[in-house]
Structure 1
Amino acid sequence: MDTSNLYVDHLAWCGLIALNMARQAGAVSSAAQENLFLCRWLATAEKKRLFRRELANDIRWLLREGREKGLRADLPGKLEYLWRASSSDLLAQNDLFRLQHVMHAITLTGINYGVLTESDWEGRQALKMNPKIPAVFLRKSDLETGFDEQGSLIKPLATRITAELSAVDALLSRAGWKRKADVDDPLLHLLITDIQ
């Protein structure tokens, strides 16, 4: 999915509006119905070529996600993400919102994402990271203590990354975050905000 596509915000906006209109009309009242509605909406958009040619691959990707993954595809969430990612208000949001945005983007790219408890993070029962499986894991205790009540970062977040660093950096940068590598552990990084 190419969120840098100049027209993807229009596609996402139209999909969200169509879904909300269906909700208000009572045609959609569950997550399963939302997925079915959006799959049909995307199929119609593709068949009738309702959007610019530049969006054809994006429409096919969303449609394939909805058909193959069903509810797990979270098509409304993907459309919401695409709309927010392509709108200019992302950097105006608080640090916690922007981090959630990045982690959602990471999962959209197929990279595994998770939050690890202390026992999963270190010690005898620690999760063994496979460098061949792209993943990003945050430490749960850092998430719980790393933000103030306004959602502003108050201390760096420990993160383990096995995904391609340049891809993760691009997603972080887009949302006003950056990482610092640990000198002793090649998989350990600290996430900090890039907005002053």
Structure 2
Amino acid sequence: MTDIDNKNSELAHFAFCAQVALKFAEQEGKISSLLDEHLFLLRWLVTAQKQKRFSKQVAPEIAWLISRGRKLGLQSRLHERVRHLYLSWVDPINQQPDLHRITYIIEALKNAGWRYYVLTPEEWLTGEVPSRVKGINVLMVEMNHLTSVFCKEGSQLEPLEIRVLGDLQVFGILLLEQKFHVFQVLEKTTYARLYISIDEKIPEVA
């Protein structure tokens, strides 16, 4: 990958995370006007800058957006700029290996406040949520399952099971955008049991 390709990938990831955070804020009722949208994105950008959430290649873009947002207010059109970055590179993202796209989604959710746990086989088999798993908006996977589902090149070999605590709507939207199919097993558990696949065929589950 060239330096330019790597920078474009980092910018796409940054814009993707911003879009995800905004979608969650809208879903939670935190945004009811263009001013709310502007202030949310500006605060999110400032937090991302302070916490150094993204690579040095993205830092100038974040600094420019913050400066523009503070000087021009609503006229800065922060959302339009972020959405432009996202849409400019959404197709190249879709062309990445399956494992890369799943990782892309997980990292975006973590940036939006979700928690991600890799469970041991013993924890997974109990069918219960381990005591160390805290909060809502949580993703859980089983460590050995991750290595068996994807080949070395990152292609998906079989459906990936993910257990989710929290709101599924935005997670589902992100998966569909990245060309994955989502199947939910309806059973009485405290979490949602999902299977993620590149194949639209309904998987056989235990």
1:2 aligns with 2:5: no
Is 1:2–1:58's contact at 8 Å kept on the other side of the alignment? no
Deviation at 1:130, TM superposition (A): 7.6
Deviation at 1:119, TM superposition (A): 2.5
Q: Residue 111 of structure 1: which of 107, 111, 114 is its match?
A: 114
Q: 1:190 to 1:103 in 2, by over 3 A?
A: same
TM-score (norm 1): 0.58
Is 2:117–2:133's contact at 8 Å kept on the other side of the alignment? no
Q: What is the SS of the residue equivalent to 1:121? A: helix
What's the counterpart of residue 75 of structure 1? none
Q: What is the SS of the residue equivalent to 1:2? A: helix
Distance in 2 (alpha carbons) for counterparts of 1:183 and 1:43: 44
Q: What is the SS of the residue equivalent to 2:19? A: coil
Q: 1:99 to 1:125 in 2, by over 3 A?
A: closer
1:164 aligns with 2:193: no
What's the counterpart of residue 70 of structure 2? 47
Distance in 2 (alpha carbons) for counterparts of 1:137 and 1:41: 36
Q: 1:49 to 1:131 in 2, by over 3 A?
A: same
Distance in 2 (alpha carbons) for counterparts of 1:129 and 1:156: 26
Return 5+ residue gaps in structure 2 as ranges: 1-17, 24-51, 202-206
Distance in 1 (alpha carbons) for counterparts of 2:184 and 2:132: 16
What's the counterpart of residue 193 of structure 2? 188
Distance in 1 (alpha carbons) for counterparts of 2:169 and 2:109: 12
Deviation at 1:194, TM superposition (A): 5.3
TM-score (norm 2): 0.56
Q: 1:185 to 1:143 in 2, by over 3 A?
A: farther
Q: 1:113 to 1:47 in 2, by over 3 A?
A: same
Percent of residue pairs bearing the same amino acid type = 19
Q: Match of 2:148, as an amino acid?
A: T
Q: Residue 101 of structure 1: which of 91, 99, 104 is its match?
A: 104
Is 2:69–2:76's contact at 8 Å kept on the other side of the alignment? no
- Deviation per CA, 1:111-148: give whole Å up to 9, x if none: 21222121232339961598961111111111111011
Distance in 2 (alpha carbons) for counterparts of 1:181 and 1:85: 29
Q: Match of 2:141, as an amino acid?
A: L
Q: How many residues align?
A: 150
Return 5+ residue gaps in structure 1 as ranges: 6-29, 60-81
Q: 1:84 to 1:113 in 2, by over 3 A?
A: farther
- Deviation per CA, 1:89-108: give whole Å up to 9, x if none: 11111101111111112112
Q: 1:176 to 1:132 in 2, by over 3 A?
A: same
Q: What is the SS of the residue equivalent to 1:89? A: helix
Q: Match of 1:169, as an amino acid?
A: G
